[in-house]
């Protein structure tokens, strides 16, 4: 099969007929062997009933329904596991992603040997309250991850089958699928300028909190990618430095006290100095950080996924 088009959706009953007709028209025009997978993330507006009608109407359409709303990441992950196409296209269900971009994305994967191609909504038809935070967020993500994409959160993306089957999208990490792919060893990541359209029905399911959650997720995925299997390298190093700082400070206070006494110079009690308590706190926190790293290392060593990695090729000599 050439293409699997995965559409995660939540309460988009008005858009589904038009969206599926559009995707069907594009794929048939290009003579693709394809499937459309509609993943209903616990909709309550009758979206599933529409999906059932669409599935009966056309054999290329498949439907998956969650019992409740689990989030976009869960819908994408389940769609990836169900997909059979050699190239997998993801797009949002609100008609703001243009299905006419599918052939271009497919060509970049097949002909230009990309592992992943992300859409870039260069000309966004959103209010400025969305544009400015999005630009700031994407700029930060580029700086932190080293991946030169302008629009991490664009729902219109293309993947090779190998990428989709070997990454795990969880929580709200759908924003960082390129980062997850890079961590798994898929480094050929490209970008394509895509047409953005105004929302035709309903309203966005994401509020301003997505930007806060986005930064928190960025911190999480950056930490996990660097120290997920070696927590001692982070906590142990930080704890050792803090303990050493506190110990040296306490040693200096003690040496200073002994020097004053040897010179018969009146000296205040060490415990009256604020530096004593700062040194004590630094040693306590340093010890706790070191123990945190040690416990994290024990958990990591006991994990069943401690040796999970991807093999690219094997040659029999």
Residue 210: the pLDDT is: 63
Does residue 134 surpass a pLDDT of 80? no
Question: Which of 43-52, 121-130, 287-296, 304-313 has the least mean pLDDT?
Answer: 304-313
Of residues 194 and 307, more confidently modeled: 194
CB of 117 closer than 8 Å to CB of 191: yes
**Nearest-angstrom CA–CA distance, 84 and 79:** 10
Which of 85-89, 197-201, 269-273, 303-307 ranks highest by mean pLDDT?
85-89
Of residues 81 and 183, more confidently modeled: 81
Does residue 308 surpass a pLDDT of 60? no
According to DSSP, the residues that pair with 157 across neighbouring strands are 90, 118
CB of 189 closer than 8 Å to CB of 178: yes
Q: Mapping DSSP to helix (H, G, I), strand (E, B) and coil, where does residue 140 land? A: helix
The mean pLDDT of 289-313, rounded to a whole number, is: 70
**Nearest-angstrom CA–CA distance, 46 and 12:** 9
**Cβ neighbours of residue 84 under 8 Å, at least 6 residues apart?**
1, 4, 35
Residue percentage of the chain with pLDDT more than 90 = 49
Nearest Cα to Cα of residue 236 among 307, 295, 306, 305: 295
Domain residue spans in the chain?
3-227, 231-302
The domain made up of 3-227 has a fold known as Spore Coat Polysaccharide Biosynthesis Protein SpsA; Chain A (3.90.550)
- Residue 38 exposed, middle or buried by CB count within 10 Å (0-12, 13-18, 19+): buried
Residue percentage of the chain with pLDDT more than 70 = 88
The pTM assigned to this predicted structure is 0.75
pLDDT band at residue 258 using 50, 70 and 90 as cut-offs: confident
Residue 276: the pLDDT is: 87
Does residue 311 surpass a pLDDT of 70? no
Residue 269: the pLDDT is: 80
pLDDT band at residue 306 using 50, 70 and 90 as cut-offs: low
Residue 209: the pLDDT is: 63
**Nearest-angstrom CA–CA distance, 84 and 89:** 11
Residue 275: the pLDDT is: 86
> What's the mean per-residue pLDDT of the chain?
86
Of residues 248 and 302, more confidently modeled: 248
pLDDT band at residue 92 using 50, 70 and 90 as cut-offs: very high
């Amino acid at each position: 099969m050439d293409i699997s088009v995965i559409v995660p959706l939540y309460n988009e009953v008005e858009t589904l007929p038009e969206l599926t007709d559009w995707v069907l028209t594009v794929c048939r025009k290009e003579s693709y062997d394809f499937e459309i997978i509609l993943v209903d993330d616990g909709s309550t507006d009758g979206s599933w009933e529409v999906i059932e009608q669409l599935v009966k109407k056309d054999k290329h359409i498949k439907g998956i329904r969650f019992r409740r709303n689990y989030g976009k990441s869960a819908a994408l992950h389940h769609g990836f596991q169900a997909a059979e196409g050699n190239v997998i296209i993801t797009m949002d269900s609100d008609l703001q992603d243009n299905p006419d971009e599918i052939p271009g994305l497919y060509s970049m994967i097949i002909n230009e040997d990309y592992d992943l191609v992300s859409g870039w909504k260069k000309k966004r038809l959103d209010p400025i309250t969305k544009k400015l935070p999005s630009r700031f967020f994407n700029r930060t993500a580029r700086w932190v991850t080293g991946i030169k994409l302008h629009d991490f959160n664009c729902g219109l993306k293309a993947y090779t089958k190998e990428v989709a089957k070997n990454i795990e999208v969880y929580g709200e990490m759908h924003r960082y699928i390129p980062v997850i792919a890079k961590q798994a060893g898929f480094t050929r990541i490209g970008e394509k300028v895509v047409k953005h359209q105004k929302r035709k029905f309903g309203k966005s399911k994401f509020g301003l909190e997505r930007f806060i959650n986005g930064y928190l997720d960025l911190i999480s995925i950056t930490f996990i990618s660097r120290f997920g299997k070696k927590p001692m390298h982070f906590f142990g190093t930080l704890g050792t430095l803090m303990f050493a700082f506190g110990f040296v400070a306490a040693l200096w206070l003690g040496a200073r006290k002994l020097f004053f006494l040897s010179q018969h110079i009146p000296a205040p009690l060490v415990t009256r100095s604020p530096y004593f308590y700062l040194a004590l706190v630094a040693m306590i926190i340093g010890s706790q950080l070191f123990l945190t790293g040690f416990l994290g290392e024990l958990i990591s060593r006991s994990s069943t996924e401690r040796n999970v990695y991807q093999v690219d090729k094997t040659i029999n000599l």
